[in-house]
């Protein structure tokens, strides 16, 4: 008889959006119930570019954490074309700042203030390498003539290979990878290069976005790719390779903003995040690999202690809600209406 309970070292989410204001208050508890740490993305309006702004944002997050939850937000700062060496030095001295996030301008939600010329950032990257500040990368080019399904590979070939080669001391995380090309690049790269993988890119491919009509709640950026790419990510996630670890990229948008003529990109996976990963590892007959992927590899990459407390999942079939209410608005969570085999015990 299969085990009816599974205990894991408490996991961390190395890529998360919690928004701000009233929405933040309802969003944060969904993550803090399962995860001890999370890397908080800085693409607010205005973006979080300074340590002082990150400290204020972090305080707002901490105020939303329920008293019974143990949760530590790790703040990423938003890299811009005008980021200075002094800003990097200040970040390096700030324990709760985990790195800088590179958004190519226009690549995703609230990225207009991002980097417009990656090739001119060499001095910034060198300073980050010298001070041990990691670079977190949204790896897509944005030129309209480049097919949206090719933008990750083009970014790797055009920019990331050189960044990694020219700055051998720089820690680099290629976020939310979506292609076999990205998985291969990370696998074969020098030490200090890693990647996060989302639940949606493990559980779905572009058929789940486009077949039978456009499904806006499965739309994210980078966009879901063909099945062969999904299979490459699946292989990487269950490989036991410590370069690959959990990052949900949970990105909440209200239903009205997803279901319109220009729907927002992002999957709101936080309400069932660890259960979604457990679903995937169960389907792959690789539950023995889940704890390292979710609870060890990310912490080890960032040089942080592995959590010692635990969570327990019960083998209990349950259905993800069709809708949830966040700050008085209706949101549709990722996997809405679908069954999962594991449920977090609280």
Catalytic residues: 249
* Alpha-carbon separation of residue 148 from 110, 215, 219 (angstroms): 18, 17, 13
Residues 240, 275: contact at Cβ < 8 Å? no
Tell me phi and psi for residue 164, to 5 degrees.
-65, -40
Q: How far is 268 from 220, CA to CA, in rounded Å?
A: 10
Q: How far is 164 from 97, CA to CA, in rounded Å?
A: 22
CA atoms within 13 A on the CB side of 40: 33
Angle at 179 between CA 174 and CA 180, to 5 degrees: 105
Residue list, annotated binding site: 15, 17-19, 43, 101, 138, 176, 221, 249, 253, 265
| Length, in residues, of the chain | 346
- Residue 172 in tokens: 């680099």
Q: How far is 103 from 306, CA to CA, in rounded Å?
A: 28
Q: How far is 90 from 138, CA to CA, in rounded Å?
A: 23
Q: How far is 49 from 208, CA to CA, in rounded Å?
A: 35
- Residue 170 in tokens: 């720089």
Residue list, annotated binding site for substrate: 17-19, 43, 138, 221, 253, 265
- Residue 239 in tokens: 């490989």
* Nearest residue to 301 (alpha-carbon basis) of 234, 228, 237, 246: 246
Beta carbons within 8 Å of 149's beta carbon, 6+ residues apart: 206, 223, 225, 226
Q: Are strands 310-319 and 244-246 parallel, antiparallel or unpaired?
A: unpaired
Residue list, annotated binding site for Zn(2+): 15, 17, 101, 138, 176, 249
- Residue 7 in tokens: 């205990």
């Amino acid at each position: 008889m299969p085990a009816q309970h599974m205990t894991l070292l408490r996991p961390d989410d190395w890529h998360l959006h919690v928004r701000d204001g009233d929405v933040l208050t309802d969003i944060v508890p969904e993550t803090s119930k399962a995860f001890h740490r999370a890397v908080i993305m800085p693409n607010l309006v205005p973006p979080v570019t300074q340590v002082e702004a990150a400290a204020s944002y972090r305080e707002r997050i901490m105020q939303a954490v329920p008293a019974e939850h143990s949760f530590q937000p790790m703040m990423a700062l938003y890299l811009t074309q005008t980021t200075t060496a002094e800003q990097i030095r200040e970040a390096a001295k700030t324990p709760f700042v985990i790195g800088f996030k590179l958004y190519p301008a226009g690549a995703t939600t609230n990225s207009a203030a991002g980097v417009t010329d990656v090739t001119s950032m060499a001095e910034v990257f060198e300073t980050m390498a010298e001070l041990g500040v990691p670079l977190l990368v949204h790896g897509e080019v944005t030129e309209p003539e480049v097919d949206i399904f090719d933008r990750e590979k083009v970014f790797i070939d055009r920019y990331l290979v050189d960044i990694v080669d020219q700055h051998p001391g720089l820690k680099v995380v290629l976020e939310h990878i979506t292609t076999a090309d990205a998985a291969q690049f990370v696998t074969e790269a020098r030490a200090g290069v890693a990647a996060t993988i989302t639940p949606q890119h493990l559980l779905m491919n572009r058929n789940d976005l486009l077949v039978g009509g456009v499904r806006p709640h499965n739309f994210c950026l980078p966009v879901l790719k063909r099945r062969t790419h999904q299979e490459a990510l699946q292989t990487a996630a269950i490989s036991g390779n410590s370069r690959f670890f959990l990052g949900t990229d949970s990105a909440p948008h209200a239903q009205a903003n997803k279901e319109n003529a220009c729907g927002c990109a992002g999957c709101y996976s936080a309400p069932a995040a660890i259960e979604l990963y457990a679903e995937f590892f169960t389907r792959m007959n690789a539950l023995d690999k889940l704890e390292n992927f979710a609870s060890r590899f990310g912490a080890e990459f960032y040089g942080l202690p592995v959590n010692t407390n635990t969570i327990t999942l019960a083998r209990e079939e349950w259905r993800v809600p069709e809708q949830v209410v966040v700050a008085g608005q209706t949101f549709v969570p990722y996997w809405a209406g679908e069954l999962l085999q594991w449920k977090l015990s609280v």
